[in-house]
Amino acid sequence: MGKPVDVIQSVRLDDENDTLILLDQTVLPNEKNFLYLKELKDIWDAIYHLKVRGAPAIGIAAAYGVYLGTKHSGAESYEELYQDFKKAKEYLASSRPTAVNLFWALDRMEARLRKEEGKAGAEIKEALKEEAEKIRAEDEKVCKSIGHHALSVLEPGWGILTHCNAGTIATAKYGTALAPIYLGQEKGYDFKVYADETRPLLQGARLTAWELKEAGVDVTLICDNMASIVMKEEKIQAVLVGCDRVAANGDAANKIGTSGVAILAKHYKIPFYVCAPLSTVDLACKTGDDIHIELRPSEEITSKWYEKPMAPEGVQTYNPAFDVTDNELITGIITENGIAYAPFTESLPKMFK
Phi and psi at residue 195, in whole multiples of 5°?
-110, 120
How far apart CA 43 and CA 128 sit, in angstroms, is 17
Q: Region of 281 please: left (phi>0), alpha (psi -120 to 50) or beta.
A: beta
Q: 3-state secondary structure string, 302-322?
A: HCCCCCCCCCCCCCCCCCECE
DSSP tag of 3: -
Q: Helix or strand or coil: residue 267?
A: helix
Catalytic-residue membership of 244: yes
- DSSP assignment of 123-165, as one string? HHHHHHHHHHHHHHHHHHHHHHHHHHHHHTT--TT-EEEE-S-
Binding site listing: 53-55, 96, 203, 254-255
User: Which residues participate in the annotated binding site for substrate?
Assistant: 53-55, 96, 203, 254-255
Query: Residue 229: enclosing H or E segment and its boundaries?
Result: helix 227-232
Q: Select which of 139, 196, 224, 244 is catalytic.
A: 244
Let me know the angle formed at the C-alpha of 93 by 90 and 97, rounded to the nearest 5 degrees. 140
Q: 255 in helix, strand or coil?
A: strand
3-state secondary structure (DSSP) of residue 266: helix
Q: What is the DSSP letter of 296?
A: -
CA 113 to each of CA 40, 93, 130: distance values in angstroms, whole numbers, following the listed order = 19, 17, 11
The Cα 131–Cα 127 span in angstroms is: 6
Distances (CA, A) of 265 to 141, 191, 229, 329, 331: 29, 18, 11, 8, 10
DSSP string, 50-66: TSS-SHHHHHHHHHHHH
**Could you give the residue numbers annotated as active site?**
244
